[in-house]
Amino acid sequence: MDRRNFIKKVGVGAAGLAAAGALGHSKALAKKGKRFNWKMTTCFPPKYPIIQPACERFAKRVGIMSDGQLKIQVFGAGELIPAMETFEAVRQGTAIKVGGSASYYWSGKIPEASFFAAFPFGFTARETYAWLFHGGGLKLWRDLYGEYNLVPFPFLNTGVQMGGWFRKEINSISDLKGLKMRVPGLGGKVYAKAGVNVVLLPIAEIYPALERGVIDACEWATPFLDIRSGFHRVAKYYYYPGWQEPGTNAEIIINKKAWESLPQHLQVIVETAAHESIIWSTAEFDTRNAEALNKIISEKKVEMRKFPDDVLKLLKKISRETMAEEAAKNPRYKKIYESAKNFQKKITNWSKIGEQAIYHAASL
Amino acid sequence: MDRRNFIKKVGVGAAGLAAAGALGHSKALAKKGKRFNWKMTTCFPPKYPIIQPACERFAKRVGIMSDGQLKIQVFGAGELIPAMETFEAVRQGTAIKVGGSASYYWSGKIPEASFFAAFPFGFTARETYAWLFHGGGLKLWRDLYGEYNLVPFPFLNTGVQMGGWFRKEINSISDLKGLKMRVPGLGGKVYAKAGVNVVLLPIAEIYPALERGVIDACEWATPFLDIRSGFHRVAKYYYYPGWQEPGTNAEIIINKKAWESLPQHLQVIVETAAHESIIWSTAEFDTRNAEALNKIISEKKVEMRKFPDDVLKLLKKISRETMAEEAAKNPRYKKIYESAKNFQKKITNWSKIGEQAIYHAASL
């Protein structure tokens, strides 16, 4: 098997291929033994659970696997730079070569980046990696981030982000009208179009706003992250499953020049450690989310509800219209949106007929 | 952070810890640079899709990451030894140090090994890794295989194995009585107790037996593997989603002494490559299963059906009774079964309320 096919077969990224091909033999040998000390900054507070430890675990495993040849020192948000400067700092690559984040944090600047984290009525966790690894998604992501001098890696999945905490039941579309809800991002845009009075509040102000009845509802994250915020203690709540982020993927981003400076074995070590984290950390989120959800349900204040089908249908329709509007004015967005949409069409039957039947059987 | 905590945090296996701890410093340094050439044998034919390439991909990535220090040469079933001798050959570790298989292949000898592959009304793919990595499952697996001089690694998931191909609709429990069905393993036992006339046939004889009407139904695998067998061409069929294997995990097994002879960085490379394969190859199965299922549905001969709830309830009841019977006479089986059962109780709400709601929304 020739080198090209070999590398293709084992799934080394296109960026790595180019770097390896461009080097002569002796230069490549010198490069092989070079040692690297990199800094990594993340968008997560130093004590943030599961995600920040996953970043540290990634860096440590890279260090061990490379027998110390590639050392990555991890800093949480604010330790070196603020969270939202991660993309720019890694892109410049001056002091920091690696970032830990989620692509939709950059959607203000690059709306199409969202598809590699989550999108409304989009992919479940498992569907996300089917699209990325075997449906062309990762190639699109690498092309997009390549324009910003970055190489991205899928990294971790939180699972379904819940629909949120509601002080009133949502029994029909009219219950959305005028509802004061804290919900950011694309989900917020969609709710606003459906008549919700969307309120933007910094994290620290959500709890008191709920307590004083300034807002009627809030969306935060998964049960494990929700329960830490203590929302379930504020009042009697209806807790709804989600639709706005069906399986949110986090990312590792690496400065492209720094990436290309790595010999091939270190590139494969980094890529493998990032991918490995997906299965390890998604399993961790699933376990902790399960425990938290059971606890939320067992506390008498919270009742589980489901959005009625007509509400979901409306939110889905608005979600698609909103994404189609963006696609109409942004060719890069359109290309990625259509790839995701077409892959979703392809995989839906399998998810429904395979997985959903199992969940049904489990509930009997 | 001390070594113990560090290693615990990055998730290096217990076997690796013991090996590293037992070595003095100079011995450890000599060990560090040692080169290894290992043979790996699998239970899959050399041309078998997805699974055999995943074994080759695993070995190649280990070779690259270790910069040639650990070379693993992969052989398919029958190339060195027959498939079903894999466990014994790797256990002895004379010529072959690594195996690629699925733990329920060894259930004739070790019934409790099945839980690490799949069990009726058991874990979905995602739940499987939650249990293994964060619910104590992997520890139980390592303890069990440790008794056989083996170290196991989870490796790949096929997704849901379908319920199978039926020439008659199953509308009630009475439709199972006397049905001639080819279905092996624990699924077969359960069907037999439900009144099915279970027929055991080698793979090559299933197609002609279906064609001549010698059997009424057969269970094989996932849509991607089913379609390759051509069953959908034999006759008009009803195709049912599964319950007997909700997400089948394959395994890498390594001779324990060989594993302990590896320096720590090679151990972490092997472990990381095996775990990475889970997300990569499960995504591949999901993609190919989705494509195959769409093709099966679009061919007019096949109609999708669901087992009625009373049929599923009966099969579930019999499954649990069958597993409980085995647990009553086998303490190792009991321990693993109870761990799996308790973890399933814990995670079911999350799977249902999180994932199932997403599938429902996707179908609107």
Residue of A nearest to B355 (CA): A160
A127 and A93 within one domain: yes
- % chain B with pLDDT above 70: 92
Q: How far apart are CA B216 and CA B181, in angstroms?
A: 6
Residue B47, pLDDT > 50, answer: yes
pTM of the model: 0.92
B310 and B218 within one domain: yes
The reported pLDDT for the residue numbered B7 is 36
Mean pLDDT, chain B, whole residue set: 91
Q: Which residues in chain A touch residue B135, judged by CB atoms under 8 angstroms apart? A: 287
Q: Quick one: CA dihedral B134, B139, B145, B151, positive or negative?
A: positive
B199 and B97 within one domain: no
- Closest in B53, B287, B355 to A134, CB measured: B287
Question: Within 10 Å of residue A233's Cβ, how many Cβ atoms?
Answer: 14
Q: Which residue has the higher pLDDT, B31 or A63?
A: A63
Residue B337, pLDDT > 70, answer: yes
Of the candidates B24, B41, B42, B44, the one whose C-alpha atom is nearest the C-alpha of residue B32 is B24
DSSP β-ladder status, B237-240 and B164-166: antiparallel
Residue of B nearest to A291 (CA): B346
Structure tokens belonging to residue A297: 């349900």
Question: Within 10 Å of residue A98's Cβ, how many Cβ atoms?
Answer: 28
Structure tokens belonging to residue A85: 């400067």
Task: Mark yes or no for CB contact A283/B133 under 8 Å.
Answer: yes
Each residue's pLDDT tens digit, B308-321? 999 999 999 999 99
Distance from CA of B84 to the nearest CA of A (A): 27
Please, which residues 186-245 of chain A have a Cβ atom closer than 8 Å to chain B? 222-223, 241-243
B120 and B54 within one domain: yes
What DSSP assignment string belongs to B80-128? SS-GGGHHHHHHHTSS--EEEE-GGGGTTT-GGGGGGT--TT---HHHH
Residue B225 lies in a domain: yes
Of the candidates A86, A38, A26, A23, the one whose C-alpha atom is nearest the C-alpha of residue A269 is A38
Q: What is the count of residue pairs from A and B with beta carbons less than 8 Å apart? A: 260
The reported pLDDT for the residue numbered A24 is 56
Structure tokens belonging to residue B169: 């609709």
Each residue's pLDDT tens digit, B217-239? 999 899 999 998 888 887 788 99
Task: Mark yes or no for CB contact B126/A125 under 8 Å.
Answer: yes
**Please, what is the Cα angle at B41 between B38 and B42, to 5 degrees?**
145
Q: How far apart are CA B170 and CA B219, in angstroms?
A: 14
Please, which residues 61-120 of chain B have a Cβ atom closer than 8 Å to chain A? 61, 64-67
B150 and B18 within one domain: yes
The reported pLDDT for the residue numbered B161 is 94
Residue A257 lies in a domain: yes
Asked whether B132 and B250 are in contact (CB, 8 A), the reply is no
Task: Mark yes or no for CB contact A346/B291 under 8 Å.
Answer: yes
**Alpha-carbon dihedral B162, B164, B170, B174, rounded to 10 degrees:** -110
Q: How far apart are CA A281 and CA B23, in angstroms?
A: 31
Query: How far, in Å, are A72, A211, A285, B102, B351 from residue B161 at the CA level?
Result: 41, 48, 25, 14, 18
A256 and A139 within one domain: yes
**For the domain that residue B217 is a member of, what is the CATH number?**
3.40.190.10
Domain of A148, in residue numbers: 11-160+247-286
Secondary structure letter of residue A116 according to DSSP: G
**For the domain that residue B75 is a member of, what is the CATH number?**
3.40.190.170
Residue A298 lies in a domain: no
Greatest CA separation for chain A: 71
First to last CA, chain B: 51
Residue A118 lies in a domain: yes
Give the H/E segment covering residue A254.
Answer: strand A249-255
The reported pLDDT for the residue numbered B27 is 66
ipTM: 0.91
* Residue of B35, B58, B286 to mutate when probing chain A, most A C-beta within 10 A: B286
B224 and B124 within one domain: no
Residue B297 lies in a domain: no
Of the candidates B206, B167, B199, the one whose C-alpha atom is nearest the C-alpha of residue B184 is B199
Q: How far apart are CA B33 and CA B39, in angstroms?
A: 20
Residue A341 lies in a domain: no
| pLDDT, mean of residues B323-350 | 97
Instruction: Annotate A68-92 with b (16+ C-beta within 10 A) or e (fewer).
Output: ebbebebbbbeebbebebbbebbbe
Whether the CB of A330 is below 8 Å from some CB of chain B: the reply is no
Of the candidates B154, B181, B200, B182, the one whose C-alpha atom is nearest the C-alpha of residue B13 is B154
Least confident of A142-156, B65-79, B349-363: B349-363
Structure tokens belonging to residue B120: 């009726």
Asked whether B256 and B325 are in contact (CB, 8 A), the reply is no
> Which pLDDT band holds residue B28 (cuts at 50, 70, 90)?
low
B191 and B68 within one domain: no
Asked whether A158 and A285 are in contact (CB, 8 A), the reply is yes
A226 and A139 within one domain: no
What length is written for chain B? 364
Q: Quick one: CA dihedral B26, B32, B34, B36, positive or negative?
A: positive
Of the candidates B158, B301, B157, B303, the one whose C-alpha atom is nearest the C-alpha of residue B230 is B301
> Which pLDDT band holds residue B24 (cuts at 50, 70, 90)?
low
How many structural domains are present in chain B?
2
Q: How far apart are CA A246 and CA A158, in angstroms?
A: 9
B81 and B25 within one domain: yes
> Is the backbone of residue B67 left (phi > 0), alpha (psi -120 to 50) or beta?
left
* Residue of B288, B344, B355, B360 to mutate when probing chain A, most A C-beta within 10 A: B355
B28 and B123 within one domain: yes
Q: How far apart are CA B250 and CA B118, in angstroms?
A: 9
Contacts of B268 (CB under 8 A, 6+ apart): A61, A64, A65, B10, B12, B16
Each residue's pLDDT tens digit, B184-205? 888 999 999 999 999 988 878 8
Of the candidates A174, A177, A173, A126, the one whose C-alpha atom is nearest the C-alpha of residue A154 is A126
What DSSP assignment string belongs to B184-241? -HHHHHHHHHTT-EEE---HHHHHHHHHTTS-SEE--S-HHHHHHHTGGGTS-EEEE-
Q: How far apart are CA A338 and CA A131, in angstroms?
A: 12
- In one-letter notation, the amino acid at residue A37 is N
Least confident of B7-16, B94-103, B270-279: B7-16
Residue of A nearest to B314 (CA): A364
Give the H/E segment covering residue A130.
Answer: helix A125-134
> Which pLDDT band holds residue B11 (cuts at 50, 70, 90)?
very low
Whether the CB of B57 is below 8 Å from some CB of chain A: the reply is yes
Asked whether A135 and A343 are in contact (CB, 8 A), the reply is yes
Report chain A (364 residues): mean pLDDT per 10 consecutive residues.
37 41 60 92 95 98 98 97 97 98 96 97 96 98 98 97 93 96 92 95 86 91 90 85 95 98 98 98 98 90 92 96 97 98 96 85 80
What strands lie across the sheet with A70-75, from one edge to the other?
A70-75, A36-42, A98-101, A249-255, A150-157
Asked whether B194 and B314 are in contact (CB, 8 A), the reply is yes
Q: How far apart are CA B149 and CA B22, in angstroms?
A: 18
Helix/strand/coil percentages in chain B, nearest 5 = 55, 15, 30
A142 and A114 within one domain: yes
Residue B13 lies in a domain: yes
Residue of A nearest to B266 (CA): A65
Q: How far apart are CA B135 and CA B144, in angstroms?
A: 16
- Closest in B64, B275, B358 to A124, CB measured: B358
Task: Mark yes or no for CB contact A279/B283 under 8 Å.
Answer: no
Residue B49 lies in a domain: yes
Question: Within 10 Å of residue A34's Cβ, how many Cβ atoms?
Answer: 12
Q: Which residue has the higher pLDDT, B182 or B357?
A: B182
The reported pLDDT for the residue numbered A233 is 82
